[in-house]
Amino acid sequence: MDGSTIYALGTPAPSRARPGALCVVRLSGPRAADVLVFLTEPGAFQRGRSARNPALPAPRRMVLRTLHDPLSGEAIDRGLVVWFEAPHTETGEPMAELHLHGGRAVVGAALEAIRRLDLCRLAEPGEFTRRAFEHGKLDLTEAEGIADLVAAETEQQRRLALQAGLAQGVRDGIVRLQDGIGAHLVDRRGERLREGLHIAIIGPPNAGKSSLLNLLARRDAAIVSETAGTTRDIIEVHLDLGGWPVVLADTAGLRESGDAIEQEGVRRARARAAQADLRLLVLDASGDWKAAMRTLTAETENWDPARDIVVLNKVDLAPADPAAETVPLSARSGEGLPELLARLESAAGALMDEGARDQGGAPPLTRTRHREALAEAHASLGRALVAPEIALAAEDLRLALRAIGRITGTVRVEELLDVIFRDFCIGK
Ligand SMILES: Nc1nc2c(ncn2[C@@H]2O[C@H](COP(=O)(O)OP(=O)(O)O)[C@@H](O)[C@H]2O)c(=O)[nH]1
Ligand SMILES: [Mg+2]
């Protein structure tokens, strides 16, 4: 709003073919009263009388007045005028209406007289409604309702067709946006970069899981013991694996146990294995590791044979099977460690690259705040798609926009308003 006073024809402009019986000129803004007085009281303009002039009719009362050209004093028309006092008006501003005879010459002369006062300007399409909206006289859906009402009947069919097309277009746009946001949300690169790649060491008791953790951590983080069931809780160490931050977790040996604490350890081990980005299954080369591999890979949730690694430990005790898809290692002597590290590094790199490829090189979501805002936008878009009413869908879209705005900076409502009011006709 620029504080200007605006005017426009509130009825269709009279044409030669179809002159109307009446034509209404509407004014809104701080100078509306001046315009009304200057047009209806001869000589007032020259005297520069103010809006407090007694010539101003009582508000909301139609009164008969003769309209004069304020400069020449020439009579233009005799018609009804109405004065509306702010804020109880349609726009919330001072308003006036001139009900003129609908001939082209009359209307043309009246508009020209108003223009020559140089107190107001022609309204933009939808500007009256926009001012009403900005003064809290109606909400957006009501404003849009007015747009529909104005366009109804005259071009109903064309508009209906247009609306249907628009709705489908909007729907497609929402679906595309939601898919895009969803893809960012499943991309866990940012989290991996920030928190580290999660690697879980799993396997049967006594396979050498804790020994492997200590070997990789280069310190005695976990207790190594011949007593099966020694590791009961999860032990985490943070490592740098070829430049990638890694959280390595040692877990309890996977076996049936009567011990309640060990049972809980096994439950946690399985849960951690399922959540991890990468699983290292450690097996004892000197035992029946093939059977163990079959059962444990089948039992482990999210086990991916193309990504997860089977480590055949204690190769100092039994020769490795070169045909098997395993990484031979001796956690005791360190034999096979460089090969295992190489495998881990390439797996970590692949996990990070994978996300990068999926996102077309887009930066990862590293902040929880961004992730939460996107999740909220995603949910709001989903609700918009199933909203039973257009007004509710609009509200959901607004919420989605606000959530995205929290990442990108504020999304100005003004920008939206321009789009909405653009479709109005002048005088509304
Ligand atoms: N010979 C041999 N013994 C190992 C090796 N790795 C671990 N051990 C032993 O196997 C036993 C169990 O090891 P531990 O790391 O506690 O296994 P976990 O139960 O899987 O955590 C310990 O006595 C270790 O010293 C290895 O590579 N070779
Ligand atoms: Mg252990």
Higher-confidence residue: 59 or 358? 59
Average pLDDT over residues 242-259: 81
Ligand 1 atom 23 nearest Cα: 226
pLDDT for 157 equals 47
CA distances from 267 to 225, 234, 272, 277, 292 (A): 21, 11, 9, 18, 18
What's the 228 CA to ligand 2 centre distance in angstroms? 8
Looking at all shown ligands, the one closest to residue 331's CA atom is: 1
* Ligand 1 pocket test target in 201, 202, 206 with most atoms within 8 Å of CB: 206
Atom of ligand 1 nearest to the CA of 228: 19
Mean pLDDT is lowest, of 65-79, 85-99, 299-313, 340-354, for 340-354
What's the 161 CA to ligand 1 centre distance in angstroms? 74
- Is the CB of residue 332 below 6 angstroms from any atom belonging to ligand 1? yes
Higher-confidence residue: 408 or 377? 377
Q: Where are the domains of the chain?
A: 6-123, 192-358
Quick check: 27 pLDDT over 60?
Answer: yes
Quick check: 359 pLDDT over 60?
Answer: no
- Is the CB of residue 328 below 6 angstroms from any atom belonging to ligand 1? no
- Is the CB of residue 251 below 6 angstroms from any atom belonging to ligand 1? no
Mean pLDDT is lowest, of 278-287, 293-302, 406-415, for 406-415
Averaged pLDDT score across all residues of the chain: 82
pLDDT in tens, 182-211: 888 877 666 666 677 899 999 999 999 999
Ligand 1 atom 1 nearest Cα: 314
What's the 336 CA to ligand 1 centre distance in angstroms? 15
pLDDT for 357 equals 57
Cis peptide bond prior to 87, omega within 30° of 0: yes
What's the 128 CA to ligand 2 centre distance in angstroms? 76
Q: Which CATH number fits domain 6-123: 3.30.1360.120, 2.40.30.30, 3.40.50.720, 3.40.50.2300?
A: 3.30.1360.120
Q: Does domain 192-358 have CATH number 3.40.50.300?
A: yes
Q: Among 281, 225, 279, 227, which residue's Cα sits nearest to residue 254?
A: 281
Looking at all shown ligands, the one closest to residue 204's CA atom is: 1
pLDDT for 276 equals 92
Quick check: 49 pLDDT over 50?
Answer: yes
Quick check: 321 pLDDT over 50?
Answer: yes
pLDDT for 308 equals 93
Atom of ligand 1 nearest to the CA of 206: 19
8 A C-beta contact, residue 55 and residue 95: no
- Is the CB of residue 257 below 6 angstroms from any atom belonging to ligand 1? no
- Is the CB of residue 124 below 6 angstroms from any atom belonging to ligand 1? no
8 A C-beta contact, residue 187 and residue 365: yes
Atom of ligand 1 nearest to the CA of 226: 23
pLDDT for 428 equals 64
What's the 171 CA to ligand 2 centre distance in angstroms? 54
pLDDT in tens, 103-162: 888 898 999 999 999 999 999 888 898 898 888 887 766 666 666 656 555 555 445 544
pLDDT for 152 equals 54
What's the 100 CA to ligand 2 centre distance in angstroms? 95
Higher-confidence residue: 128 or 221? 128
Looking at all shown ligands, the one closest to residue 235's CA atom is: 2
Quick check: 282 pLDDT over 80?
Answer: yes
pLDDT for 10 equals 86
